[in-house]
Amino acid sequence: DTEVTQTPKHLVMGMTNKKSLKCEQHMGHRAMYWYKQKAKKPPELMFVYSYEKLSINESVPSRFSPECPNSSLLNLHLHALQPEDSALYLCASSQRADGDGNTIYFGEGSWLTVV
């Protein structure tokens, strides 16, 4: 089972709203990731959590706030977003964040539209 589950699949929010994206995996993975993908572009890394601790923040604006409540869950809290933040947000996980040959498994993504 290599499943990463993301909810919601689609989200439309106004620039003053607060919303959250959720991600769950039950593979016993200890590394979880958020990526952002704009249309016709490759995914870009936003955050990496390793053993529930934030280990990489790729200079992401503070209107995006990640949270890792436990080893199976990863949230992305959204507040005061801009229309240019509209994108596909992909959650991913791997066994560890530092192992050789580590495979990163992606979820189906959450399509976010900011109006």
Partner 1 sequence: GNSVTQMEGPVTLSEEAFLTINCTYTATGYPSLFWYVQYPGEGLQLLLKATKADDKGSNKGFEATYRKETTSFHLEKGSVQVSDSAVYFCALSDLTDTGRRALTFGSGTRLQVQP
Identified binder of partner 1 from the candidate list 1, 16, 42, 70, rule CB under 8 A: 42
Amino acid code (one letter) for 83? P
Is 59:81 a contact under the CB 8 Å cutoff? Answer: no
Which x/- pattern, by CB under 8 A, does the window 60-89 give for partner 1?
----------------------------x-
| Placement of tokens 């016993």 in the chain | 28
Note whether 103 binds partner 1 by CB under 8 A. Answer: yes
CA 103 – CA 10 distance, rounded (Å):
26
Identified binder of partner 1 from the candidate list 55, 61, 82, 115, rule CB under 8 A: 55
Identified binder of partner 1 from the candidate list 28, 69, 83, 101, rule CB under 8 A: 101
Is 65:76 a contact under the CB 8 Å cutoff? Answer: yes
Is beta strand 87-94 parallel, antiparallel or unpaired with respect to 31-37? antiparallel
Binding site for partner 1 (CB under 8 A): 2, 6, 31, 40-43, 45, 48, 50, 55-56, 88, 90, 94, 97-109
